[in-house]
């Protein structure tokens, strides 16, 4: 069991999706996350153990990224490898046999169509063991509120890349806190700072996506 967890974690951290993938070069012609996950389930490994491998792998690449030892492209490739594993355990997630730590609702705020940062944090948090509900881009406050009503007790993340949409982020945070004052709100994006986070009443900001998972873990029920 531990062997499969470590092999999956290694494939995800290094971005080895499947046997056919040429990347990374040192793992050429070796089984990737896809084949190892399929074999593990066939041999009786529990689905939640495969999810543990995803969490370990994404934690490794997240730490490398925070230490500037990996790039955005590395995170993206690791996310693809993680999804190759999740494909195999999706039926168990849907049935409830495999439990998530919680739900994280995320979207880019109204007026902003940028999604790269949102997609990266979504991958990191999915790899951290959470169910991610992605509302997409140009998300108005009422859409966040609808999602919060559908997922009681969830966390929520707001992303913005344009300085011109920061006021929309502020108004969305205000609406969320007014309707659901106990909800933990995380914000992020190129122009966002800790001072801005405090000013608008959000709960957490960090330029490092790995820190977001640690924050969620420390506040999960």
* pLDDT digit string, tens, across residues 132-177: 999 999 999 999 999 999 999 999 999 999 999 999 999 999 999 9
* pLDDT digit string, tens, across residues 180-220: 999 999 999 999 999 999 999 999 998 888 899 999 999 98
Question: CATH 1.10.1240.10 region(s) of the chain?
Answer: 2-95
Fold classification of 103-219 (topology level): Rossmann fold (3.40.50)
- CATH code reported for the domain at 2-95: 1.10.1240.10
Question: CATH 3.40.50.280 region(s) of the chain?
Answer: 103-219
Q: 105 — phi, psi (to 5°)?
A: -90, 130
Confidence (pTM): 0.85
* pLDDT digit string, tens, across residues 83-99: 999 999 989 888 888 88
* pLDDT digit string, tens, across residues 51-76: 999 999 999 998 898 888 998 899 89
Residue 72 CB: number of other CB atoms within 10 A? 11
């Amino acid at each position: 069991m531990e062997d499969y967890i470590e092999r999956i974690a290694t494939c995800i951290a290094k971005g080895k999706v499947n046997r056919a993938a040429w990347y990374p070069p040192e793992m050429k012609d070796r089984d990737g996350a896809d084949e190892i996950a399929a074999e593990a389930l066939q041999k009786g490994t529990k689905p939640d153990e495969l999810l543990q491998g995803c969490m370990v792998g994404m934690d490794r690449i997240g730490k490398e990224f925070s230490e500037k030892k990996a790039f955005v492209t590395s995170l993206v490739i690791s996310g693809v490898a993680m999804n190759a594993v999740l494909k195999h355990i999706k039926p168990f997630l849907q049935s409830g046999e495999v439990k998530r730590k919680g739900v994280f609702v995320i979207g880019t705020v109204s007026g902003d169509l940028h999604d790269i940062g949102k997609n990266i944090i979504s991958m990191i948090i999915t790899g951290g063991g959470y169910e991610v509900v992605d509302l997409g881009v140009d998300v108005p406050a009422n859409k966040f509120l609808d999602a919060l009503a559908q997922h009681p007790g969830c966390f929520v993340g707001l992303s913005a890349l344009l300085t011109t949409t920061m006021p929309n982020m502020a108004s969305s945070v205000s609406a969320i806190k007014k309707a659901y004052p106990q909800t933990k709100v995380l914000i992020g994006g190129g122009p966002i700072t800790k001072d801005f986070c405090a000013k608008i009443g959000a709960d957490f900001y960090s330029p490092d996506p790995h820190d977001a998972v640690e924050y969620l873990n420390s506040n999960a029920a």
